[in-house]
Structure 1
Amino acid sequence: MRFSESLKKNSDFQTVYKKGNSNANKYLVMYIMKNGIGKNRLGISVSKKVGNSIVRHRLTRLIRESYRLQEEKFPCGLDIVIIARSSAKGKSYKEIESALLHLGRLHKIINE
Protein backbone atom coordinates (compact mmCIF):
# COMPACT_ATOMS: atom_id res chain seq x y z
CA MET A 1 0.00 0.00 0.00
CA ARG A 2 1.92 2.99 -1.32
CA PHE A 3 -0.54 5.78 -0.57
CA SER A 4 -2.19 4.28 2.49
CA GLU A 5 -1.83 3.47 6.16
CA SER A 6 -3.89 1.21 8.36
CA LEU A 7 -6.68 2.52 10.53
CA LYS A 8 -6.08 0.86 13.88
CA LYS A 9 -7.61 2.80 16.77
CA ASN A 10 -11.18 2.07 17.81
CA SER A 11 -11.79 5.82 18.18
CA ASP A 12 -10.82 6.32 14.51
CA PHE A 13 -13.26 3.60 13.43
CA GLN A 14 -16.03 5.17 15.54
CA THR A 15 -15.41 8.60 14.01
CA VAL A 16 -15.71 7.19 10.49
CA TYR A 17 -18.90 5.32 11.44
CA LYS A 18 -20.51 8.46 12.89
CA LYS A 19 -19.38 11.12 10.41
CA GLY A 20 -18.77 9.15 7.23
CA ASN A 21 -21.04 8.08 4.39
CA SER A 22 -21.82 4.42 3.85
CA ASN A 23 -22.82 2.22 0.96
CA ALA A 24 -23.23 -1.53 0.83
CA ASN A 25 -23.53 -4.41 -1.57
CA LYS A 26 -23.97 -8.15 -1.14
CA TYR A 27 -20.52 -8.84 0.32
CA LEU A 28 -19.13 -5.60 1.80
CA VAL A 29 -20.10 -2.34 3.51
CA MET A 30 -17.88 0.71 2.94
CA TYR A 31 -17.73 3.85 5.07
CA ILE A 32 -15.83 6.85 3.71
CA MET A 33 -14.82 10.13 5.32
CA LYS A 34 -12.36 12.84 4.26
CA ASN A 35 -9.39 12.93 6.66
CA GLY A 36 -7.49 16.08 5.68
CA ILE A 37 -4.11 14.33 5.38
CA GLY A 38 -2.48 13.48 2.08
CA LYS A 39 -2.98 9.74 2.26
CA ASN A 40 -5.70 7.18 2.70
CA ARG A 41 -6.19 5.18 5.86
CA LEU A 42 -7.81 1.77 5.42
CA GLY A 43 -9.62 -0.10 8.19
CA ILE A 44 -11.02 -3.60 7.76
CA SER A 45 -13.56 -5.15 10.11
CA VAL A 46 -14.67 -8.78 10.01
CA SER A 47 -17.05 -9.85 12.78
CA LYS A 48 -16.99 -13.17 14.60
CA LYS A 49 -20.44 -13.78 13.09
CA VAL A 50 -18.71 -14.27 9.73
CA GLY A 51 -16.75 -17.33 10.85
CA ASN A 52 -13.83 -18.64 12.83
CA SER A 53 -10.43 -16.93 12.91
CA ILE A 54 -9.19 -18.71 9.78
CA VAL A 55 -12.17 -17.48 7.76
CA ARG A 56 -11.93 -13.95 9.18
CA HIS A 57 -8.20 -13.62 8.49
CA ARG A 58 -8.61 -14.95 4.95
CA LEU A 59 -11.30 -12.37 4.24
CA THR A 60 -9.14 -9.61 5.74
CA ARG A 61 -6.23 -10.61 3.50
CA LEU A 62 -8.48 -10.73 0.41
CA ILE A 63 -9.89 -7.26 1.11
CA ARG A 64 -6.46 -5.76 1.85
CA GLU A 65 -4.94 -7.28 -1.31
CA SER A 66 -7.90 -6.15 -3.44
CA TYR A 67 -7.45 -2.62 -2.16
CA ARG A 68 -3.65 -2.72 -2.58
CA LEU A 69 -3.84 -3.75 -6.24
CA GLN A 70 -6.57 -1.19 -7.05
CA GLU A 71 -5.17 1.57 -4.84
CA GLU A 72 -4.26 3.95 -7.67
CA LYS A 73 -7.97 4.21 -8.57
CA PHE A 74 -8.84 5.68 -5.16
CA PRO A 75 -8.20 9.41 -4.53
CA CYS A 76 -5.97 10.38 -1.59
CA GLY A 77 -7.18 11.95 1.64
CA LEU A 78 -9.84 9.46 2.74
CA ASP A 79 -10.50 7.28 5.76
CA ILE A 80 -12.02 4.06 4.42
CA VAL A 81 -13.58 1.38 6.63
CA ILE A 82 -14.62 -1.86 4.96
CA ILE A 83 -16.87 -4.30 6.81
CA ALA A 84 -17.20 -7.84 5.50
CA ARG A 85 -20.68 -9.35 5.54
CA SER A 86 -21.23 -13.02 6.34
CA SER A 87 -22.20 -13.64 2.69
CA ALA A 88 -18.55 -12.86 1.75
CA LYS A 89 -17.38 -16.05 3.44
CA GLY A 90 -15.90 -18.48 0.93
CA LYS A 91 -15.91 -16.01 -1.97
CA SER A 92 -13.01 -15.76 -4.40
CA TYR A 93 -10.54 -12.92 -4.77
CA LYS A 94 -12.24 -11.74 -7.97
CA GLU A 95 -15.66 -11.51 -6.29
CA ILE A 96 -14.26 -9.50 -3.36
CA GLU A 97 -12.31 -7.20 -5.69
CA SER A 98 -15.40 -6.65 -7.83
CA ALA A 99 -17.46 -5.82 -4.71
CA LEU A 100 -14.79 -3.33 -3.54
CA LEU A 101 -14.68 -1.54 -6.91
CA HIS A 102 -18.48 -1.50 -7.05
CA LEU A 103 -18.61 0.29 -3.69
CA GLY A 104 -16.00 2.77 -4.88
CA ARG A 105 -18.20 3.57 -7.88
CA LEU A 106 -21.28 3.91 -5.63
CA HIS A 107 -19.38 6.46 -3.52
CA LYS A 108 -18.27 8.18 -6.77
CA ILE A 109 -14.62 8.12 -5.68
CA ILE A 110 -13.10 5.69 -8.19
CA ASN A 111 -10.91 7.38 -10.79
CA GLU A 112 -11.48 5.35 -13.93
Structure 2
Amino acid sequence: MKRTFFQMAEPRWMFTIAVGLGMLLWSWLAPSSIPGPYGLYLGPVGMLGRFLGENFPHIVSSIVYVATFLHIGEALYAAKLCWDQRLTVGTSLKWVLQTFLFGFASLRILRSRTRTA
Protein backbone atom coordinates (compact mmCIF):
# COMPACT_ATOMS: atom_id res chain seq x y z
CA MET A 1 0.00 0.00 0.00
CA LYS A 2 1.37 3.39 -1.00
CA ARG A 3 1.49 6.02 1.70
CA THR A 4 1.35 9.78 1.70
CA PHE A 5 2.60 12.10 4.37
CA PHE A 6 4.31 15.41 3.93
CA GLN A 7 5.17 18.17 6.36
CA MET A 8 6.71 21.51 5.50
CA ALA A 9 9.89 22.49 7.29
CA GLU A 10 9.60 25.16 9.96
CA PRO A 11 9.29 28.63 8.38
CA ARG A 12 12.10 30.08 10.49
CA TRP A 13 14.50 27.44 9.16
CA MET A 14 13.26 27.88 5.60
CA PHE A 15 13.79 31.65 5.83
CA THR A 16 17.23 31.37 7.45
CA ILE A 17 18.51 28.79 4.98
CA ALA A 18 17.09 30.63 1.95
CA VAL A 19 18.65 33.94 3.03
CA GLY A 20 21.96 32.25 3.84
CA LEU A 21 22.18 30.39 0.55
CA GLY A 22 21.05 33.49 -1.34
CA MET A 23 23.71 35.61 0.31
CA LEU A 24 26.31 32.93 -0.38
CA LEU A 25 25.41 32.85 -4.07
CA TRP A 26 25.38 36.65 -4.24
CA SER A 27 28.84 36.77 -2.64
CA TRP A 28 30.07 34.21 -5.16
CA LEU A 29 28.55 35.61 -8.35
CA ALA A 30 28.61 39.39 -7.84
CA PRO A 31 30.06 40.50 -4.50
CA SER A 32 30.61 44.09 -5.63
CA SER A 33 26.86 44.50 -6.24
CA ILE A 34 26.01 43.94 -2.56
CA PRO A 35 24.52 47.35 -1.67
CA GLY A 36 26.14 50.02 0.41
CA PRO A 37 29.73 50.83 1.18
CA TYR A 38 31.35 47.49 2.00
CA GLY A 39 27.90 45.87 1.95
CA LEU A 40 26.83 47.89 4.96
CA TYR A 41 23.16 48.20 3.93
CA LEU A 42 22.64 44.51 4.65
CA GLY A 43 24.31 44.67 8.03
CA PRO A 44 27.08 42.35 9.20
CA VAL A 45 25.99 39.58 6.85
CA GLY A 46 26.25 41.88 3.84
CA MET A 47 29.61 43.18 4.99
CA LEU A 48 30.95 39.66 5.49
CA GLY A 49 29.55 38.47 2.16
CA ARG A 50 31.07 41.34 0.24
CA PHE A 51 34.41 41.07 2.04
CA LEU A 52 34.72 37.33 1.46
CA GLY A 53 33.47 37.54 -2.12
CA GLU A 54 35.91 40.28 -3.08
CA ASN A 55 38.97 39.18 -1.09
CA PHE A 56 38.62 35.39 -0.86
CA PRO A 57 36.58 34.21 -3.86
CA HIS A 58 38.19 30.77 -3.75
CA ILE A 59 36.83 30.21 -0.24
CA VAL A 60 33.34 31.34 -1.24
CA SER A 61 33.35 29.11 -4.32
CA SER A 62 34.50 26.16 -2.21
CA ILE A 63 31.64 26.76 0.23
CA VAL A 64 29.17 26.95 -2.68
CA TYR A 65 30.37 23.63 -4.09
CA VAL A 66 30.37 21.87 -0.71
CA ALA A 67 26.90 23.18 0.12
CA THR A 68 25.62 22.07 -3.29
CA PHE A 69 27.03 18.56 -2.90
CA LEU A 70 25.67 18.29 0.64
CA HIS A 71 22.19 19.33 -0.45
CA ILE A 72 22.29 16.88 -3.36
CA GLY A 73 23.40 14.11 -0.99
CA GLU A 74 20.63 14.95 1.48
CA ALA A 75 18.07 14.94 -1.33
CA LEU A 76 19.27 11.51 -2.51
CA TYR A 77 19.04 10.19 1.05
CA ALA A 78 15.52 11.62 1.30
CA ALA A 79 14.64 9.76 -1.91
CA LYS A 80 15.94 6.54 -0.37
CA LEU A 81 13.90 7.08 2.78
CA CYS A 82 10.80 7.72 0.70
CA TRP A 83 11.45 4.58 -1.34
CA ASP A 84 11.95 2.49 1.81
CA GLN A 85 8.68 3.82 3.25
CA ARG A 86 6.83 3.20 -0.03
CA LEU A 87 5.62 6.77 -0.33
CA THR A 88 3.78 7.87 -3.45
CA VAL A 89 5.74 9.50 -6.27
CA GLY A 90 4.15 12.91 -5.65
CA THR A 91 4.89 12.80 -1.94
CA SER A 92 8.45 11.62 -2.59
CA LEU A 93 9.05 14.48 -5.04
CA LYS A 94 7.87 16.97 -2.43
CA TRP A 95 10.27 15.55 0.17
CA VAL A 96 13.20 15.41 -2.24
CA LEU A 97 12.68 18.96 -3.51
CA GLN A 98 12.18 20.37 -0.03
CA THR A 99 15.26 18.54 1.24
CA PHE A 100 17.34 19.76 -1.70
CA LEU A 101 16.33 23.37 -0.99
CA PHE A 102 16.36 23.35 2.82
CA GLY A 103 18.62 20.44 3.74
CA PHE A 104 18.59 19.22 7.31
CA ALA A 105 15.50 21.27 8.21
CA SER A 106 13.46 18.95 5.99
CA LEU A 107 15.49 15.78 6.38
CA ARG A 108 15.17 15.65 10.16
CA ILE A 109 11.37 15.78 9.86
CA LEU A 110 11.37 12.99 7.28
CA ARG A 111 13.71 10.84 9.38
CA SER A 112 11.57 11.28 12.48
CA ARG A 113 8.42 10.39 10.52
CA THR A 114 9.98 7.29 8.97
CA ARG A 115 11.28 6.04 12.34
CA THR A 116 7.83 6.15 13.88
CA ALA A 117 6.10 4.65 10.84
TM-score normalised to structure 1 length = 0.34
Query: Relative to total residues, which structure has the larger helix share, 1 or 2?
Result: 2
> Which is strand-richer, 1 or 2?
1
Taking structure 2 as the reference length, the TM-score comes to 0.33
**For the pair shown, which has the larger CA radius of gyration, 1 or 2?**
2
